[in-house]
Structure 1
Amino acid sequence: MLKLNIKDETSNLKSVVLGTALSSGPVPLAEQAYDPKSLQHILAGTYPKEVDMVQEMDAFATVLKKYGVQVFRPRVITDCNQIFTRDIAFVIEDKLIKANILPDREEEFHAIKYVLEKIDEDQIIYPPKEVHIEGGDVMPWKEYIFIGTYSGPEYSNYITARTNSAAVDFIREKFPNKIVKSFELRKSNTDPRENALHLDCCFQPIGKDMAILHKNGFLMEEEYQWLIDYFGKDKVFEITKEEMYSMMSNVFSISPTVVVSERNFTRLNNWLRQRGFVVEEVPYAEIAKQEGLLRCSTLPLVRE
């Protein structure tokens, strides 16, 4: 049996579900795109090829295994994009919460059934249908749970708005011992440079007390400022709109000192190394075309 344990974003990783790019299906039609960046690449004819994405994910898996991490992969569903396991479920403390995802992604959750069978049934939470939530918006961090949301009246018009106010209330109710802090994110169905699909597209804690941050991802300046004050300006790596577009905040921590990053993120990788991190560089630029990167492809189950 797996004893779930996730209290933060960076403690030593022991067990994770890493997505798969096998049989990810044909290039979607424009009207099937879930986000503006995928749409851009569909229209430009530069949508990533399965063979390239499989290689990128294999490189990531190799790094995880190098550090002794137990890596589960989803059962492969024919012609289904199963790369982003962070969208289908997430763990806080000793509970796995099923994300209320877009209905046509329901099958992806069933593809990790063999993993769920290793978890006590009473540790799995199924939110009610009015609660919209995805793991990219949820970050346990010490006494906090940070949640990205969009609570504007036009929420339903945005395919890019994935976590609603009901979800913030739901998590608050389920984890009364935590301080739930929500952040309003900037959303756009059409411009990937003006769209923070999830909180981890514009913010992520790293190490023990540092963070990567993109100001324009936040709708309210005071919420961005709160993060600057919390971490301290000298502990924050600020990324540009172009760097956010390339998913620079979506790296992945194996431990407080080891970060897996995209090999083209030269500015970030140098900054991390100067601060004593071991940076494991992998190719992930093709997967990035789908507005997701390393954190999005993982569902951590146990950290200690």
Structure 2
Amino acid sequence: MFPREQAAWEAERENLAAVLGRYGVEVLRPRLLTEVEKAAGGSSGYANFFVRDPWFTVGAHVIEGGLQFPHRRHEVLTSRELLVERVMPSAAAYVALPSPAVPQAGEKNGAGPFLEGGDVLVLDKHVFVGESGMATNPAGREWLAKYLRPHGFTVTVLPMPPHVLHLDCAFGLVREGLLITCPDRLPAGPPAPLRDWEQIEVTEDEAAAMATNGLPIDSSTYITDPEFERVGKALQARGITVEYLYFTVSRSFGGAFRCSTQPLLRVN
């Protein structure tokens, strides 16, 4: 419908893939939804903007989540062939959240359970899960905690204001000892394991534009948009190499670099 914007959007994704490739990251690309899959969304419609949300990894566990908005509930299908190809022959576990319940009369999206990758940040054996009411809900978070507990992981819930979609729209990990945070979106502050970390703070307006949604490639390299040069300079002052990429169209859909990627395997 908007060919100029579409071309710019695709170029943003190609440029991101090229930068990741330069740093030795193997980039896998999800396929498009088929016409049958689009039709399955019925009157709710369909979407396939960001690969961060329908599945995620915690250590050696690959987990398909459940998306709250009905038009997003088939997004995982575009990645599933890649997951089957890469995960099934490996030693990693491959599990899925129970399917969300059908909304009953008077319910907007139903009771869930809902669990979205944008709400999940992992630091060693700590798993931080954001809850604002827009995406992950208590049922999804409790399922994750129950599944991961025997494997030594601790799940900590981070409450957020109701207008914040995901946790990575409120704060992000840069490297050990350094994070970016929006205090207005994380009223209780960073979780206990991160309280002593140095914090680069951003405003509500900067967070709404996706200032916390950059992508650390490794402990010394970070991708962000030139829109956030102030944040980039603060990172550079702390020894971080900043790769700037224009991501204007992607950000207009409510996501940026972290939303556009989902690590399947991290290697040192």
Aligned pairs for 1:219-298 within 5 A? 221=187, 223-224=188-189, 226=191, 230-232=194-196, 235-298=198-261
Specify which of 109, 117, 120 is matched with residue 138 of structure 1: 120
| TM-score, length of structure 1 as denominator length | 0.73
Which amino acid is 1:125 matched to? Answer: V
Q: Which amino acid is the alignment partner of residue 165 of structure 1?
A: P
What does residue 41 of structure 1 align with? Answer: none
CA distance in 1, matches of 2:191, 2:78: 39
* Cα offset, 1:67, TM superposition: 0.8
Counterpart of 2:80 in structure 1 is 113
Specify every segment of 5 or more residues in structure 2 that has no aligned partner in the other structure, as ranges: 39-45, 101-111
Distance 1:112 1:266, change over 3 A: same
Asked if 2 retains the 8 angstrom alpha-carbon contact of 1:148 and 1:198, the reply is yes
Aligned to 2:31: 75
Matches of 2:80 and 2:173, distance apart in 1? 30
Aligned residues: CA RMSD: 2.1
Q: Which residue of 2 aligns with 1:207?
A: 175
Is 1:148 matched up with 2:121?
Answer: no
- Equivalent residue number for residue 141 of structure 2: 168
Residue 263 of structure 2 aligns to a residue whose secondary structure is: strand
Displacement after TM superposition at 1:103 (Å): 3.5
Secondary structure class of the residue paired with 2:212: coil
* Paired position in structure 1 for 2:16: 60
**Distance apart, 1:204 and its partner CA:** 0.8
Pick aligned residue for 2:160 from 179, 185, 188: 185
What is the deviation of 1:231? 3.8
Q: Looking at both structures, which has the greater relative contact order when contacts are Cα pairs under 8 Å and sequence separation is at least 6? A: 1
Matched AA of 1:120: M
Partner of residue 87, structure 1: 53
Distance 1:108 1:173 in 2: 25
What's the % identity of the aligned pairs? 26
- What TM-score, normalized to structure 2? 0.82
Distance 1:69 1:83 in 2: 21
TM-superposed CA distance for 1:74, in Å, is 1.0
Deviation of the 1:81 alpha carbon = 4.2
- Partners of 2:190 and 2:175 in 1: how far apart? 20
Change (3 A) 1:87 1:226: closer
Contact between 1:74 and 1:82, CA under 8 Å: does it hold in 2? no
Structure 1: give runs of 5+ residues left out of the alignment. 1-25, 28-47, 156-160, 188-194
**Pairs aligned (count):** 238
Q: Secondary structure at the match of 2:13?
A: helix
Partner of residue 65, structure 2:
99
1: distance between equivalents of 2:73 and 2:138?
Answer: 22
Is the contact between residue 211 and residue 231 of structure 1 (CA under 8 Å) also seen in structure 2? no
- How many Å separate the matches in 2 of 1:268 and 1:90? 27
Residues 240-264 of structure 1, C-alpha deviations (whole Å, 9 max, x = no match)? 1111111000000111111111122
